[in-house]
Structure 1
Amino acid sequence: MIPLLNDERQTGVTVKQEIAMTQLNLPEPIAAYFESDRGDAEAVARCFTNDAVVRDEGHTYTGIAAIKGWKSAASTKYAYTSSPLSAVRQGDRHVVTCRLTGDFPGSPADLRYVFRLERGRIASLEIKA
Structure 2
Amino acid sequence: MHDNQPRTSTPDTFPEVITRYLTAHRAHDTASAITAFTPEATVIDDGNTYEGTEAIREWLDRSATEFTYTVHLIGAQQTDATRYIATHHLEGDFPGGTIDLRYQFTLRDGLVERLVIEP
Partner of 1:123: 113
Partner of 1:52: 41
**Unpaired segments ≥5 residues, structure 2:** 1-9
8 Å CA contact 2:11, 2:76 repeated in 1: no
Taking only aligned residues, the RMSD between alpha carbons, in angstroms, comes to: 1.4
Partner of 1:93: 83
Q: Distance in 2 between matches of 1:101 and 1:26?
A: 24
Q: Percent identity?
A: 35
Question: Quick one: higher RCO (CA 8 Å, sep 6+), 1 or 2?
Answer: 2
Misfit runs of 4+, over 2 Å: none
Identify the range of structure 1 (100-109 vs 50-59) with the bigger mean alpha-carbon deviation. 100-109
Higher helix share: 1
Q: Give per-residue Cα distances to partners, 1:19-78, cap 9 Å, x unaligned.
A: x733xx221111111110123222211111111000000100011110000010111111
What TM-score do you get using the length of structure 1 for normalisation? 0.77
Partner of 1:67: 56
Partner of 1:112: 102
Letter of the aligned partner of 1:85 in structure 2?
A: I
Partner of 1:35: 23
* Alignment length (residue pairs): 108
8 Å CA contact 2:43, 2:114 repeated in 1: yes
- Secondary structure at the counterpart of residue 95 of structure 2: coil
Higher strand share: 2
Determine whether 1:77 maps to 2:62: no
